[in-house]
Structure 1
Amino acid sequence: MPCLFNRPSSLLFTTYYITRILLLLPLCILVLYLGLQRWQQQRSTSMAAMTHSDSFTYHMVAMELTSVFGNALCCFGVFLDHFLVLFVGLHFWALTWYGETFFHILTCVERYLAVVHPVIYLSLRGERGIRIRNISIGCVWLIYFGAIGLMHFEYFLFVDFCLLILSLIVVSFCSLSVLHILIRPGPGEQGGDKERVDQSKRRAFYTIWAILGVLLLRCFVSLIWTLVQMSDDNECMISTMVEFWLNFPSSLVLPLLFLHRAGTLACCKNNT
Structure 2
Amino acid sequence: MNVSTEYFNSTEVYPFTIIQGILILRGFRIALLGFNILFGVPIHSYVLWLIAREGRIASEIFNLNLTVCEIIYSFIFLTQILPRISLDLHCFLQGLGITGRPLFHCLMCVERYLAVVHPVTFLKYKPLRYRVICCIVVWITTLGSCLAVIQTSSNMKTYIWFFSLQFLLFLSIQLFCLVAVLRALKQSGPGEKGREREEENHMKRRAFHLILITTVTLVVMFVPFAITGFLTVLQQQEQQKVSLIWFLGPCCFILAGFVQPVLHLHRAGKLCLCSS
TM-score when normalising by structure 1 = 0.83
Matched, 1:266 2:272: yes
Is the 1:20–1:68 Cα contact (8 Å) retained in structure 2?
yes
Quote the residue 1:25 is aligned against.
Answer: 41
Between 1:176-185 and 1:250-259, the stretch displaced more is 250-259
Structure 1 residue runs of 4 or more that deviate by more than 3 Å after TM superposition: 4-8
Between 1:95-104 and 1:185-194, the stretch displaced more is 185-194
Matched, 1:223 2:226: yes
Matched, 1:50 2:58: yes
Q: 1:93–1:240: structure 2 CA closer, same or farther, 3 Å change rule?
A: farther
Quote the residue 1:199 is aligned against.
Answer: 202
Q: 1:189–1:22: structure 2 CA closer, same or farther, 3 Å change rule?
A: farther
Matched, 1:74 2:90: no
Q: 1:235–1:157: structure 2 CA closer, same or farther, 3 Å change rule?
A: same
Is the 1:69–1:89 Cα contact (8 Å) retained in structure 2?
no
Measured against aligned partners, the alpha-carbon deviations of 1:227-271 in whole angstroms (never above 9, x if no partner) come to 22233433332222211112234312222222222222222354x
Which amino acid counterpart does residue 81 of structure 2 have in structure 1?
F
Q: Distance in 2 between matches of 1:141 and 1:236?
A: 33
Q: 1:164–1:23: structure 2 CA closer, same or farther, 3 Å change rule?
A: same
Spell out the pairing of 1:105-254 with structure 2 (5 A cutoff).
Answer: 105-126=106-127, 130-151=128-149, 152-153=151-152, 154=155, 155-230=158-233, 231=236, 232-254=238-260
Quote the residue 2:29 is aligned against.
Answer: 13
Segments of structure 1 that go 5 or more residues without pairing to the other structure are: 43-48
Quote the residue 1:46 is aligned against.
Answer: none
Which amino acid counterpart does residue 115 of structure 2 have in structure 1?
A
Is the 1:214–1:247 Cα contact (8 Å) retained in structure 2?
no
Q: 1:150–1:216: structure 2 CA closer, same or farther, 3 Å change rule?
A: same
Query: Over the residues paired in the alignment, what is the CA RMSD in angstroms?
Result: 2.2
Deviation, 1:149, is 2.2
Q: 1:112–1:188: structure 2 CA closer, same or farther, 3 Å change rule?
A: farther
Question: SS where residue 58 of structure 2 aligns?
Answer: coil
Is the 2:4–2:26 Cα contact (8 Å) retained in structure 1?
no
Q: Distance in 2 between matches of 1:164 and 1:10?
A: 25
Deviation, 1:75, is 4.4
Measured against aligned partners, the alpha-carbon deviations of 1:85-104 in whole angstroms (never above 9, x if no partner) come to 27356335412221011111
Deviation, 1:109, is 0.5
Is the 1:113–1:121 Cα contact (8 Å) retained in structure 2?
yes
Is the 2:160–2:226 Cα contact (8 Å) retained in structure 1?
no
Which amino acid counterpart does residue 76 of structure 1 have in structure 2?
I
- Size of the aligned set, in residue pairs, is 251
Between 1:165-174 and 1:181-190, the stretch displaced more is 181-190
Which amino acid counterpart does residue 209 of structure 1 have in structure 2?
L
Which amino acid counterpart does residue 149 of structure 1 have in structure 2?
L
Q: Distance in 1 between matches of 2:31 and 2:191?
A: 53
Matched, 1:257 2:263: yes
Is the 1:3–1:233 Cα contact (8 Å) retained in structure 2?
no
Deviation, 1:177, is 0.9
Which amino acid counterpart does residue 181 of structure 2 have in structure 1?
V
